């Protein structure tokens, strides 16, 4: 009974959420687009000519936002390159390259390297989140694993002067994640955009400039 009530409350909140309504109006696939929009407007992360990789891109709202920021070529197209990677399928987005697969696997990496064609990435985005079990210690380990993957990806493919934005959760293990980011990046800031629900412990970490580029 309690679960049914919870689902009903979530549905009520979701339907009445101003960001959900805005996403529907502006054609974004998820309200998450406005989290990236707010952080980008503060930090000026997305600029014409960049190579941007969106890890865990499905359903695609972050890639959509990045695409809209890079749009503006006469006759259509974008100034820059956007690559989305996810193990789940994603409906196509104009001007966005999508690779379905695990970015640690050889096949996905080959596809990525073909698109990059020798270039390094300017910005790594990761809105990835694990399926949470409710057990704080195991959930913290799952979140940390995804962040480790994003850092490893950045070390392998990003310009030393690039930036990484990842989603994590303010709770068990959060301080360790901040410490890990500080060990890897010269500048680290945490972001809690207004579009992130108040009752959510979701928070975003932004790391700029690799300390130990490979």
Task: Detail the residues annotated as belonging to a binding site for S-adenosyl-L-methionine.
Answer: 60, 62, 86, 102, 127
Short-list 48, 122, 111, 61, CA closest to 91: 61
- What is the DSSP-derived secondary structure letter of residue 78? B
Smallest CA-to-CA distance from 92 within 73, 64, 72 is with 64
Name the catalytic one among 35, 37, 167, 180: 167
Binding residues: 60, 62, 86, 102, 127
The 158-169 sheet, strands edge to edge = 96-100, 81-86, 51-55, 121-126, 158-169, 202-210, 185-191
CA–CA dist 24, 11 (Å, integer): 16
* Cα of 209 vs its chain's centroid, Å: 17
> Could you confirm whether 167 is annotated as catalytic?
yes
φ, ψ for residue 210 (rounded to 5)?
-65, 135
Helix axes 33-43, 61-70, angle to 10 degrees: 40
Q: What are phi and psi of 158, to 5 degrees?
A: -100, 150
Please choose, from the candidates 149, 145, 79, 85, the residue with its C-alpha nearest in 3D space to the C-alpha of residue 113.
Answer: 85
Q: How far is CA 46 from the centre of its chain?
A: 13
Catalytic residue positions, numbered: 167
């Amino acid at each position: 009974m309690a679960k049914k009530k919870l689902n009903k409350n979530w549905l009520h909140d979701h339907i009445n959420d101003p960001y959900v309504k805005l996403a529907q109006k502006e054609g974004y696939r998820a309200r998450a687009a406005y989290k990236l929009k707010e952080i980008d407007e503060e930090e000026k992360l997305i600029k014409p000519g960049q190579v941007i990789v969106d890890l865990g891109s499905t359903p695609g709202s972050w890639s959509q936002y990045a695409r809209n920021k890079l749009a503006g070529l006469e006759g259509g197209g974008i100034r820059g390159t956007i690559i989305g990677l996810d193990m789940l399928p994603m409906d196509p987005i104009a001007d966005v390259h999508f690779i379905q697969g695990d970015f640690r696997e050889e096949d996905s990496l080959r596809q990525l390297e073909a698109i990059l064609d020798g270039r390094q990435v300017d910005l790594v985005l990761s809105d990835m989140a694990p399926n949470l079990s409710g057990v704080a210690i195991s959930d913290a380990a799952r979140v940390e694993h995804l962040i480790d993957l994003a850092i490893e990806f950045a070390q392998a493919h990003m310009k030393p002067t690039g930036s990484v934005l990842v989603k994590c959760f303010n709770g068990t293990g959060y301080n360790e994640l901040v410490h890990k980011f500080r060990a890897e990046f010269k500048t680290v800031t945490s972001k809690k955009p207004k579009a992130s629900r108040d009752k959510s412990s979701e928070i975003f970490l932004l790391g700029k400039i690799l300390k130990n580029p490979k």
